[in-house]
Chain A
């Protein structure tokens, strides 16, 4: 169980990036966080990862307060952030340096196999395409068998086809060990394809606008009416978070929602 209790982050320059953020994420749940730019999505993820510490409030994973990077928490960044001086296999095995060589070799081989990059084991990261590099970065995080995996706009730099491919691939990998996923994205489709729950955030200061349950059965059909409905609800919430109430009033959304159900 990952529990955030009134997490607030004020940067030294006085920017209030996050205010009173409270959420509880069940083990194995996939939560997507969407919102306009500057709404504190990335700040939130950095706080959960332990790379930054919140100004106030607590982040607790299985009874353990997170103040610094934790072995149970893996992170996948927007950029693959592979170490260019290590081969693909050594990048994947980066976190296993303290394990015996034989175990490391086996787990790296298995992880590469799982992301379909076995034949790339001995090449340098510069020889990979953007999608391949991001898959290596996913393998590098998953090989540590994290309980929580944080993803910060992981596919936003990829082209549309690769992105859809990797979203499906990520779900496939998730199904192996069912870690908790917390995903920050600005792609509403991505949020609905992946998540059980979408948190819509509101900027200045970053806080929760509302929560949309998107627990459609998997695999999810991006063309289905239910998908479309969920998408419209998230979009409407986003509109409200950006204070575009003049365009989309609350009642209007409810009418649309009722009609689709």
Chain B
């Protein structure tokens, strides 16, 4: 009875306190095990937090993005070796070298350029239409209570429709050429921009809006001089997600019968059994999608220098 009691007390105390006399062995080990890793991790974070500011700072700057490349590069290398050693024929999943060759061939023949330009032009026109109409309607419904009551329910109902579902109708209305494709992309871009602008305007600080009222701004001036600048950070995020959807919908549009475009390359690759061409087109999408997103970020960064935000702190990347 006596021993059991001591052991229970010891186990309880072992977590919090250093070892004291008369405590059974088990509880000592338990205490040590729980305390030791905690002490280790504290000292580790202390050293790693201290290092970036010093001479290691520069190498850390290059090392961190490189870390993100580790996994894809390793996977690619492994697959390359698997095919190289003949463990797989790589017919359906071509190795990186074959994809690269296909990509280079397409680039050299000018095919890649032609298809990329066709796709980019479609996205650009659909994106422009979607952003402009989304911004105008979002600003209108965000600013005006009655416009919101009148338009927003309908627009939200339309938003609930999967945009691809419009395709047959667009083709009937607009034909199978550019107009229906651009419209589909514009619809895809419109909704995130519309919703983003409207929600952001509704969330603008009343106090800032009152400043505009004190200076007797008209409705249009209020939107232009107070509301739109105030929602610019959210607007840019909305535009970026709109662009992402634009690239998504261009593929859907080009699947529906196009004679050129990266989506056509995909379909062509499927029908003629050329997986390397499919992957090459996918890679082209990845590059161009990332590139255009980065361009938006780059172009708008100077417009957001005023932000007193977490992301603007020194050293954030």
Contacts and interface: CB of A to CB of B under 8 A. Distances in A.
A84 B306 contact: yes
A51 interface: yes
A117 B179 CA distance: 56
Interface in B211-256: 211, 213-216, 225-226, 229-230, 232
A51 B215 contact: no
Interface residues of B, number: 17
B310 to A, nearest CB: 13
B213 A83 contact: no
Contacts of B215: 69, 94-95
B216 A71 contact: yes
A261 B72 CA distance: 88
A81 B230 contact: no
Interface in A172-231: none
A124 B225 contact: no
Nearest to A84: B306
A21 interface: no
B16 interface: no
Contacts of B210: 51, 77, 81
Nearest to A123: B306
Contacts of B214: 49, 51, 69, 74-75
B208 interface: yes
B216 A126 contact: no
A85 interface: yes
A29 interface: no
A123 B173 CA distance: 53
A5 interface: no
B216 A85 contact: no
Contacts of B211: 77, 81, 83, 94
Nearest to A78: B207
What is the predominant secondary structure among interface residues of chain A facing chain B?
loop
A127 to B, nearest CB: 9
Given A75-B214, A124-B305, A124-B306, A83 B226 contact: yes
Contact of B306 (A68, A75, A97, A126): A126
Interface residues of A, number: 21
Contacts of A49: 214
A81 B215 CA distance: 13
Contacts of A70: 216
B207 A81 contact: yes
What is the predominant secondary structure among interface residues of chain B facing chain A?
helix
A85 B207 contact: no
Between A74, A84, A85, the greatest number of chain B beta carbons within 10 A of the residue's beta carbon is seen for A85
Given A84-B308, A126-B306, A79 B207 contact: yes
B101 to A, nearest CB: 50
A77 B213 contact: no
B225 A97 contact: yes
Given A124-B306, A126-B306, A85 B213 contact: no
Contacts of A84: 306-308
Nearest to B233: A85
Interface in A77-102: 77, 79, 81, 83-86, 94-95, 97
Given A69-B213, A75-B214, A85 B229 contact: yes
B216 A69 contact: yes
Contacts of B229: 83, 85-86
A85 B225 contact: no
A130 B198 CA distance: 32
A71 B305 CA distance: 32
A83 B308 contact: no
A79 B213 CA distance: 16
Contacts of B306: 84-86, 124-126
B232 A85 contact: yes
B230 A126 contact: no
Nearest to B230: A85
Contacts of A86: 229, 306
A130 B190 CA distance: 41
A230 B230 CA distance: 45
Nearest to B308: A126
B60 to A, nearest CB: 28
Nearest to A98: B221
Interface in A49-80: 49, 51, 68-71, 74-75, 77, 79
15 contacts: A49-B214, A51-B210, A69-B213, A75-B214, A77-B207, A83-B230, A84-B306, A84-B307, A85-B306, A86-B229, A94-B211, A94-B225, A124-B305, A124-B306, A126-B307
Interface of A: 49, 51, 68-71, 74-75, 77, 79, 81, 83-86, 94-95, 97, 124-126
For the complex of A and B, 3 pairs with smallest distance between CB atoms: A126-B308, A85-B229, A124-B306
